[in-house]
Structure 1
Amino acid sequence: MDLLSFVSVPLAAYLILAAFVAFDAMVPALPGEVLVVSAGALSAAGHLDVGWAVVAATAGAIAGDLAVYGLSRRALPGALGRTRLGRRIVERIERAHARMGSTSAVAITAARFVPLGRTAVAAAAGIAGVRPRRFATFAFAGCLLWAGWTVGLGYVTGTVTDAPLWLQVAIGAAVGVLVGVWAGAAHTVIRTRRRMSQRARAGAAVDHPPEEPSPSRLPELVG
């Protein structure tokens, strides 16, 4: 797609941007993030309005996340429940939700920045039965932050460099992917350390149970 022809009709550009981002949540192979970075670069060049680009990207992102969540909440559990493997998947997701893992507030918000994370977390939240209002609230926060960040990458790249438009988009998209990978790795490390710490505390409690007062000391404790 020629980026300059993409913005020949700004309203259509915003609608296409929102649609691509929405479908990107369901089909991660679509270049939704690249298109958002492009919108930022085109805003820096004066072809689009940066505020409306953020609005369009946010609208598309939350629409896509809610669609994945809704399908996973209604249709996917029934489909998985027909097979033994599917039931095991549902049980594991429910246990993860009980431990406040992949469907925690932080994970729902931060998943937008992680490649493929947005789809996985939205599906996990739907299967685990996260309340719609809770999911929508944190997903909207993540989508708004992600849209502002991603449009901003393109805008800043387009402002501070004189590179061709395609190179500006490539630089912005590469930075976005690197930050997303780093965020996903950091979240995994934090969760792993927290889980290991919880297991260590549980093991210490088993190895060293609280001492019960001996019968000879009962009068002292009562008195």
Structure 2
Amino acid sequence: MPEFLQALLASPWLYAVVLALAALDAFLPFTPSDSTVIAISVAAATGPPSIWLVLLAAVAGVLLGDYATYLAGRGAGPGLERRISRSAKGKQVYDWARRSMERRGPWVIVVARYVPAGRLASMLAAGAVRYPRGRFLLWDTVAGTIWAVACVSLGYLGGRAFEQNPLLGLVLALGIAAAVAGAVAGVRALSRRRRDTPRPELAGLSEAGTAR
């Protein structure tokens, strides 16, 4: 491994980078927080940095970013929907997050971060609908810890399994993470399709009413 990379992995600033990227991902959905945490955890399997400090930095970054986004949603009020709904995709994700937050808040807080742009939309929606602050912090801590443990574990186990070829371990860990995110998105799309498809008995009642 090149000396500059070894120095970077041993630097305490590395944990600040992990924290910053995990926080920024709440505002900028395409920030590579997942891949960064996984890659650093692969390296931690055979040397510095400390895997426990990486985990703590990742959790702290998630909580910081989510809470800041939640506060932004509370402060934005009714104007938030207009701004985020300028694009059709943004409106679709925000509407889903708002409806789901009102009905199944804890589930949304935990799962939405695996949906593209879902973390941003759900945190903003939680603030906009005045989701109770205490419950938000509780479930966001659960969600952030699950995410951080999953990323760190994938990277660390991949690094341990392929100590002689850490690049292969990294590719395997990233592949698993992408598969999980794809599965969550697929389940959500299937659920939405089923919800939007009228049931046969309801369709029959509708036709009968039209005929009258």
Q: State TM-score, norm by structure 2.
A: 0.76
Cα gap change, 1:93/1:114 in structure 2, threshold over 3 Å: closer, same or farther?
Answer: closer
Instruction: Quote the residue 1:211 is aligned against.
Output: none
Distance 1:79 1:117 in 2: 15
Instruction: Quote the residue 2:7 is aligned against.
Output: 5
Deviations 1:62-92 (A, max 9, x none): 111111111122125335569x979xx6x95
Residue 192 of structure 1 deviates from its aligned partner by 5.1
Instruction: Quote the residue 2:50 is aligned against.
Output: 49
Which is higher, the Rg of structure 1 or of structure 2?
A: 1
Cα gap change, 1:30/1:190 in structure 2, threshold over 3 Å: closer, same or farther?
Answer: same
Deviations 1:99-154 (A, max 9, x none): 626xx211211223334322221122222221222222111111101100000010
Distance 1:60 1:202 in 2: 49
Distance 1:4 1:114 in 2: 34
Instruction: Quote the residue 1:27 is aligned against.
Output: 28
Q: State TM-score, norm by structure 1.
A: 0.73
2:64 is the counterpart of 1:60: no
The DSSP-based 3-state class of the residue aligned with 1:26 is: coil
Distance 1:68 1:51 in 2: 26
- Letter paired with 1:149: A
Contact 2:97-2:118 at 8 Å conserved across structures: no
Count how many residue pairs are aligned between Structure 1 and Structure 2. 197
Q: Unmatched 5+ residue regions in structure 1?
A: 208-223
Contact 1:17-1:56 at 8 Å conserved across structures: yes
Instruction: Quote the residue 1:221 is aligned against.
Output: none
Instruction: Quote the residue 2:103 is aligned against.
Output: 100
Deviations 1:139-185 (A, max 9, x none): 11111011000000100110111454444333322221220121232
Q: Unmatched 5+ residue regions in structure 2?
A: 207-212
Cα gap change, 1:184/1:96 in structure 2, threshold over 3 Å: closer, same or farther?
Answer: same
Contact 1:22-1:63 at 8 Å conserved across structures: yes
The answer to which of 105-114 and 32-41 deviates more is 105-114
Contact 2:97-2:122 at 8 Å conserved across structures: no
Distance 2:16 2:98 in 1: 39
> What value does the CA root-mean-square deviation take over the aligned residues?
3.3
Cα gap change, 1:180/1:202 in structure 2, threshold over 3 Å: closer, same or farther?
Answer: same
2:200 is the counterpart of 1:174: no
